[in-house]
Structure 1
Amino acid sequence: MNWLNKLFERRSTNHAPGGDSYWQDFQALRSGPVNPATAQGVSAVFACVAAISETVASLPLHVFKGEDKARQHPLYRVLHDQANPEQTALEFREWMTAQVLLTGNAFARIERGHDGQVTALWPLKDVQVLRLKNGSLAYEYTDSTTGQLVRLLAHEVLHLRHRIGPDGVLGLSPIAVARGVIELAQAEQQMGVETFRNGAKLAGVLEAPGALKAEQRQTIKEAWAAHRSGATPVLDGGMKYNPITQTMEDAEWIEARKFSVIEVCRIFRVPPVLVGAQESANYSNSTEMARQFVTLTLRRWLLMWEQAINAKCLSEAARRTYFVEHSVEGLLRGDSTTRAAFYSSGIASGWMLKSEARALENLPTIEGIDESPALETQVATPQPYPSKQVPA
């Protein structure tokens, strides 16, 4: 790309103080840190993290006993309603998921009651992971209230991880692994900011009928600067303003910005249409990409939560009876016509009960509905979508 090549060509040129200020800013940006805070300044990064963390946190997370929801289990309230006295379950799970996406790890202190059941989950920041002499793990953090160093053992911490790194303990940070992609996106963004902030965009040129003296140039410069502040410019002495249309370099910068969005989406495996990249989107493939988002993107993060909770928040004896699982039917159900045909087919084939179909649609229970005669033949035409009103 010509505009990008020119930027890097300038890197080998010596600049005196007061010279090419834009390139100095660009160099400063490249030498600055790429961390979770600065990375979220890139809109595509923020959107990808939000798409995954918000969706995961908003999905119902249930504790099951066999096929039934164990609503009376103490852990059910912690995961479904209130994680701790200060955070709802959604707020806690959203923060934890975002931390894993940005740093590769998320930690929470497990608070238990006298009976050993989990009563609260408290998020932790700035945690150090240690390997003790006996081979087990320990987690250290500084208490924000007392300022004291606190050490927790492995069974006292819920540790969520991205892909585990070479040490076999900590997860890899997508931001750190893909630093170059984030850096380039930041550089392109900063170029746009400096362009419009400092008037670096050459929108037009002033044409004078003859040569100008230094005093005249300074006067014109000050007048044009006043115009940029809102004053109306006055051209005299036969001067003309010639506007310049968009150049090929401008177009390449715009295309590079679009490509950076695609690159960031690759890091988080998020379909670009979900973060607002609509160039190649239409109704048909947008629906399919939304399904792929659940099956190919969210599945990993949902399993991460489920397996970590089952391992840390349930005892070995409890795991023989209870388990934790998300409910994703709401994301996969599709439109009402498709769902009605799906339920009709399942009921007619005998692998789904009418009561189960109503439960999936959050419809009220009807006593004895499964005892009514089953459909004798396959339903060729989808039936109307059932109403959520209680039948008379």
Structure 2
Amino acid sequence: MNIWPFKRAEKRAVSGDPSWNALINGGSVSASGAFVDVKSAESITAVYAAVQTLAESTACLPLHVYQRQENGERVRADDYPLARVLRQPNPNQSGLTFREEMTAAVLLHGNAYARMETNGAGELTGLHPIHPRNMTISRLSSGRYAYDYTDDDGKVVRLLQGEVFHLRDRAEPGSVLGRSRIAIARDTLGLGLSLREHGASTFRNGARLSGVLQTPNVLDDASAKRIGDSWREQFAGAGNAAKTAVLENGLTYQQLAMSLEDAQWISAQQFTVVEVARLFRVPPTMLQDLSHASYSNTAELGSQFVRYSLARWIGMWETEIARQLLGPMARRRYLAEHSVEGLLRGNPEARADFYGKAIKDGWMTADEVRRLENLPALTKAQQERPDDE
């Protein structure tokens, strides 16, 4: 797992897997005619909200490293090298910002990469993220994979399997590259972009739909251009809305298109929100869509968000940490696991109910609860105090 110096023994195979960089979401034109890539997709507020909801929620959960004991119990191993790296992967990032960035990259690009840094003893000392668009993966003659990335100086650097921490979304059978949800739903997102452009264009042209100026007279090109320019100058733009037009020389105005209400433009915009929620598997309420929300089902949808939406990303981090950042022997003794109870912090009533049941049923003690709440352990006098005092 040593990073420095780079190993150069293996070479890129001429035949084999294609250039994975070509499969990363570089963007293309959708069926609606809108160009869709990661940047344009994130400009749709529903996409940005879905990605942030999943990335922020995953990153904010406490992630601890535990050591298994011979009696079957486990204890926090905060001084273990992996635990220190997960708290601060590199000098420029905390564990929260690193995990948020990596999770968002998987959601948008399908893949996230980080260069693994180790010391002379082979211990992990750092994780340095690499933008997915700068990475190319190829299969070597040995059957392993090489990761070639372009650094800030334009130099191509080769890392081998075991030197890159790679997170990915669902992949095709036999592939190591995760599929981009943006690329999969390009036409759906392109429709959302086109709807937004339609609305913006409508308001830009005076908050009214197009029509025609008619006259029984014959106009030459110069006259037609002069009339058209004059009309746009006086009535185009939201600031010119509701002005009264004065027509001359027999000109008449006839509106041709339907109104925004007739075209159900707002309903179409709502459809985009639902489609994005379906794409990223988050409840619409998490995207501020409260059209079908009530007090009772909002609480249940929040619970489903933890069980079904977050579960995949929490599991991805835990399993890939064990597979890639822990050696075969270390995996038998250590594991990384999230504390989902952290999601209860914003709900004091639910938190108190959860802790109360845990203490009553005997699988947590009062001191363990106080530790989670950043409170000191009970003193001996407090422990001996009668309950009715």
TM-score tier (shorter)? 0.7 to 0.9
Aligned to 2:112: 106
Residue identity in the other structure for 1:57:
A
Q: Relative to 1, partners in 2 of residues 1:336 and 1:96: Cα closer, same or farther, differing over 3 Å?
A: closer
Q: Once the two structures are superposed, what CA deviation does each residue of 1:44-103 show, in whole Å capped at 9, x if it has no partner?
A: 1111111111221222221122332222122222212x2212222222211211111111
Aligned to 1:78: 85
Aligned to 1:175: 182
Q: Relative to 1, partners in 2 of residues 1:356 and 1:28: Cα closer, same or farther, differing over 3 Å?
A: closer
Q: Determine if contact 1:223/1:233 at 8 Å carries over to the other structure.
A: no
Q: Relative to 1, partners in 2 of residues 1:174 and 1:369: Cα closer, same or farther, differing over 3 Å?
A: farther
Following TM superposition, by how much is the alpha carbon of 1:345 offset from its aligned partner in structure 2, in angstroms? 3.2
Q: Determine if contact 1:329/1:360 at 8 Å carries over to the other structure.
A: no
Aligned to 1:97: 103
C-alpha separation between the residues in 1 aligned to 2:79 and 2:36?
A: 45
C-alpha separation between the residues in 1 aligned to 2:152 and 2:143?
A: 28
Residue identity in the other structure for 2:58:
V
Q: Once the two structures are superposed, what CA deviation does each residue of 1:302-354 show, in whole Å capped at 9, x if it has no partner?
A: 11111111111122222222111112102146743343343333333333322
| Structure 2 unaligned residues grouped into runs of 5+ | 1-28, 69-73
**From 44, 58, 61, the counterpart of 2:46:** 44
Residue identity in the other structure for 1:115:
A
Q: Relative to 1, partners in 2 of residues 1:228 and 1:285: Cα closer, same or farther, differing over 3 Å?
A: same
Aligned to 2:283: 271
C-alpha separation between the residues in 1 aligned to 2:47 and 2:155?
A: 35
How do 1:152-231 residues align onto structure 2 when only pairs under 5 Å count?
Answer: 152-199=159-206, 201-202=208-209, 222=230, 225-228=233-236, 230=239
Specify the SS of the correspondent of 1:155: coil
Aligned to 1:130: 138
Q: Relative to 1, partners in 2 of residues 1:235 and 1:360: Cα closer, same or farther, differing over 3 Å?
A: same
Q: Determine if contact 2:62/2:342 at 8 Å carries over to the other structure.
A: no
Higher RCO (C-alpha 8 Å, min separation 6) = 2
Aligned to 1:322: 334
Following TM superposition, by how much is the alpha carbon of 1:176 offset from its aligned partner in structure 2, in angstroms? 1.4
Give the paired residue count.
Answer: 346
C-alpha separation between the residues in 1 aligned to 2:170 and 2:30?
A: 31
Q: Relative to 1, partners in 2 of residues 1:276 and 1:106: Cα closer, same or farther, differing over 3 Å?
A: same
Q: Determine if contact 2:50/2:287 at 8 Å carries over to the other structure.
A: yes
Q: Relative to 1, partners in 2 of residues 1:345 and 1:84: Cα closer, same or farther, differing over 3 Å?
A: closer
Q: Determine if contact 1:348/1:374 at 8 Å carries over to the other structure.
A: no
C-alpha separation between the residues in 2 aligned to 1:277 and 1:293?
A: 14
C-alpha separation between the residues in 1 aligned to 2:318 and 2:293?
A: 33
Specify the SS of the correspondent of 2:335: strand
Does 1:361 find its partner at 2:367? no
C-alpha separation between the residues in 2 aligned to 1:113 and 1:216?
A: 76
C-alpha separation between the residues in 2 aligned to 1:243 and 1:186?
A: 26
Residue identity in the other structure for 2:175:
G
Residue identity in the other structure for 1:130:
S
Aligned to 1:16: none
Q: Relative to 1, partners in 2 of residues 1:372 and 1:165: Cα closer, same or farther, differing over 3 Å?
A: farther
Residue identity in the other structure for 1:110:
M
Could you tell me the TM-score, scaled by structure 2's length? Answer: 0.77
C-alpha separation between the residues in 2 aligned to 1:346 and 1:166?
A: 42
**From 319, 324, 327, the counterpart of 1:312:** 324
Q: Relative to 1, partners in 2 of residues 1:133 and 1:367: Cα closer, same or farther, differing over 3 Å?
A: farther
**From 341, 346, 354, the counterpart of 2:358:** 346
Aligned to 1:301: 313
C-alpha separation between the residues in 1 aligned to 2:129 and 2:324?
A: 15
Q: Determine if contact 2:38/2:182 at 8 Å carries over to the other structure.
A: yes
Q: Relative to 1, partners in 2 of residues 1:252 and 1:54: Cα closer, same or farther, differing over 3 Å?
A: same
Q: Once the two structures are superposed, what CA deviation does each residue of 1:195-224 show, in whole Å capped at 9, x if it has no partner?
A: 222347339999x9x978967996697266
Following TM superposition, by how much is the alpha carbon of 1:171 offset from its aligned partner in structure 2, in angstroms? 1.0
Does 1:290 find its partner at 2:307? no
Deviates more, 1:354-363 or 1:293-302: 354-363
| Structure 1 unaligned residues grouped into runs of 5+ | 1-26, 376-392
Following TM superposition, by how much is the alpha carbon of 1:234 offset from its aligned partner in structure 2, in angstroms? 5.8
Identity among equivalent positions (%) equals 42
Aligned-pair RMSD on alpha carbons? 3.5
C-alpha separation between the residues in 2 aligned to 1:168 and 1:48?
A: 26
Aligned to 1:13: none
C-alpha separation between the residues in 1 aligned to 2:78 and 2:39?
A: 38
